[in-house]
Amino acid sequence: MAPRWPRGAGRVLPPALPRRAGPGHAAAAAAAAAGGGPGESGAGQRPGAAFLSPKLENETKGKLQKQICRVVLDHFEKQYTAELGNAWSSVRDVLTDPLCWQHSVLLNRFSPCPELESRLCVQGYHPAFQGALPYLPAAFQCYIRRAPGRFPAQKHQAGRLKECYLLNAASLLPVLALEVKDGEKVLDLCAAPGGKSVAILQCACPGRLHCNEFDDSRARWLEETIESFIPQPLINLITVSKLDGRHIGDLKPELYDKVLVDAPCSNDRSWLFSSDIHQATLRLVQRKELSSLQFQLLRSAAKALRPGGCLVYSTCTLSKAENSDVINLTLSSCSDLVPVDISEMGRAVSQEFTFLAGLQQHELLVLPERGRAWGPMYVAKLKKI
């Protein structure tokens, strides 16, 4: 994987420390490692096309197995055995086997297709989030299935809306925790490639949605995603910027009702398939710098949030240093922020996700498990008083 800068921030870290992976985070990285493009990017076949043939699946599996980076795996063994205990063994088995990852299909309410829903049902998919969630808009429709595999993606076609978005179902939990309502001003601080922005618009019609992405190429990807899923009248309510995420709070103080900080992190799935051992080693050495960036982004988000507004912080890493520790530092440093209980949401989706036990009520950590909607995905919610 080529060196990349962290998304949503200025160029403050060495180039060996990468941005987060693409849509669905590690799913895209795994697809790229296998020699194919990520489904979430819009590449691939139309819905209803066949899955990979057994021969190609075997070839893909072989490629991915060869690319597991021992340096990263050994590092994770030490860290996550200490942090997750006995749960690490089963989590490791899922992380290192992309063919068992559970991809989900988010339907686009702006391009309804009953035929697509029928195809999904025929292939064993069923509606996700069937529990009594505190927030689940009727228009929000996501399909998952127990069997692994990825539904074929749709190509980007200018002027034509896609019917579905492929992603990790756990990545929708931060959006559901945000609880966006019609008319609210919303900031997606680290928005590329745009999956969570698209999901927000499946839930409600904000008065203004500000999607920020510092990196030029990823900002173009973000714009293409929005063009692919959102009709023109709503696009007029969306602002795409390329600002340093650490400074938005000073530039736009107390402007937003809701802020999502899907922060740059040490993407566990992507890092496990690093092909450059030297680069992987450097990433691990510099890993501790990410928590400082994440804290700065959260502090900026808090400044941008109006009193009474809420922010959600999320990552796709298991690392306590980038999850609970960052939230605890933010709460101790920002006296106007208080935690918000999201345990009810966790209980409502406990049939679909496996969560790490022992966390506070304002946070959830999805643990990858075979046959269940996969992670990792950390979610925490705070409110400005």
Phi, psi of 336 (to 5 degrees): -90, 5
Rg (CA), the chain: 19
Task: At 6, list the tokens.
Answer: 């962290």
**Cβ-based neighbour number of residue 3 at 10 Å:** 14
- The active-site residue out of 69, 164, 190, 316 is 316
Distances (CA, A) of 150 to 30, 90, 287, 327, 375: 12, 21, 30, 33, 15
Whether omega before 253 lies within 30 degrees of 0, making that bond cis, reads: no
Answer yes or no: 205 catalytic: no
Task: Using the structure block, give the residue that is written with the tokens 């139309």.
Answer: 46
* DSSP H helices in the chain: 26-33, 54-66, 70-84, 87-95, 114-122, 173-178, 195-203, 216-229, 232-235, 248-251, 268-271, 277-286, 289-304, 324-333, 343-348
* Angle formed at CA 167 by CA 166 and CA 169, multiple of 5 degrees: 125
Q: Shortest CA distance to 376 belongs to which of 328, 319, 312?
A: 319
Could you please report the per-residue DSSP string of 332-381?
HH-TTEEE---HHHHHHTTTT-EE-TT--TTEEEEEP-TTS----EEEEE
CA distance 4 to 352: 33
Which residues, in sequence order, are bridge partners of residue 325? none
Active site residues: 316
